[in-house]
Structure 1
């Protein structure tokens, strides 16, 4: 049940798209955290009641989710969380590696000391948080947020707002898949902390080739795990 304060915040946060932004942000977080599983219908009326906003606010928020690749709209069926498949994961991972290694390379080439400090500080926070969630999730919400901030920091020195925006969109889509791995990521023998530490050290050490190779391998390992243990040939 929503408190009076929370509903007041959404309805009274100002003019323009502020209510849409709040509902969009809330739904985005719930989708990428796994609260809404892939393919789950997103009922406009129910969401309007839950968030205590108008139907038009919910519809605009759902359109934004569709534009960012987190939801899909079907004629006469409304909106639902984006579906998943092996083919989509392979395509997504290839694009992510292409984009994220490019923004990292550019950041290493042009990023200043402030960029280095952001990479180090976000890694320090990430390294201090337990990976797996208390209920067997692939990660706790706190770790997932720190993880996103670290990966975001790697590319923010690239100097291209458009590239940064594209990378963030791809990362949101990938998070839906990563949450499906559950505890398997810890059972696969991976040293995820070590992978992040290596990426941080090579990046701040201005080793473009080493850092981008380590990042590509890091992203590929997660995809390989999902393909072999979650999205198997028989499951999708």
Structure 2
């Protein structure tokens, strides 16, 4: 293949990557919100028709999701939605607290005025968005994005790239479990916006011990509510 032919193929390859990225986001959202049930088979032809997409970019999207744990891939069996379990959410939460509390402490100690401004702005957006939508109480994608942005802003001044990388990975793995907490619990029984405001105030006050304690309580409350759900009971 000569150089001109390679250049001619580049736009098509780029378009396929873009489509795969869009499909990855759509499938991930459907997994998080439970539209695609844990353990269910993901048949390419059916999904391609549902998402009005080609099989090739869909396969790439599912492969990406398999790398992050949302999808399972087995030889000769194809793809399926990753399963959830009480042991997994407990393990993820414990590990997340070890990693993210260290990242938060370092971020608070080294955060400057720009960090404070980003944190306040992220909280402002999060505080003004509804958490769920519709009679099915599905987690709103806008709130989920704002929620991720707020927690990323909290640890944004951490100086360790590895702590930040691990925090991001663990946060991504809790998304489906967070949906269970929101979807199946009485919203009046928990003041999630209040928890975020307390976290903001402690971080801005540079109170490391209080901020880490609040973060641990915030995650533990979510985990306890998830573990009470029938799908995770032995």
TM-score (norm 1): 0.83
Per-residue Cα deviation, 1:173-226 (whole angstroms, up to 9, x for no partner): 211012123241524x32212111111111122111111110011000110111
Distance 1:52 1:13 in 2: 19
Note closer, same or farther for the CA distance 1:109–1:174 as it changes in structure 2 (3 Å cut).
same
User: SS in structure 2 opposite 1:79?
Assistant: strand
CA shift for structure 1 position 53: 4.5
Q: Which residue of 1 aligns with 2:122?
A: 122
Q: Which residue of 2 aligns with 1:184?
A: 185
Per-residue Cα deviation, 1:123-151 (whole angstroms, up to 9, x for no partner): 11111122332324263333222222211
Aligned length: 223
Structure 1 gaps of 5+ residues are 1-10
Is residue 67 of structure 1 aligned with residue 104 of structure 2? Answer: no
CA shift for structure 1 position 115: 1.6
CA shift for structure 1 position 47: 3.0
Maintained 8 Å contact 2:48/2:58: yes
Larger radius of gyration: 2
More helix by share: 2
Q: Which residue of 1 aligns with 2:163?
A: 163
Maintained 8 Å contact 2:199/2:214: yes
CA shift for structure 1 position 22: 2.5
Note closer, same or farther for the CA distance 1:46–1:161 as it changes in structure 2 (3 Å cut).
farther
Superposed CA RMSD in Å reads: 2.4
User: SS in structure 2 opposite 1:80?
Assistant: strand
Note closer, same or farther for the CA distance 1:172–1:185 as it changes in structure 2 (3 Å cut).
farther
- 1:7-156 paired onto structure 2 within 5 Å: 14=14, 17-137=17-137, 139-156=139-156
TM-score (norm 2): 0.84
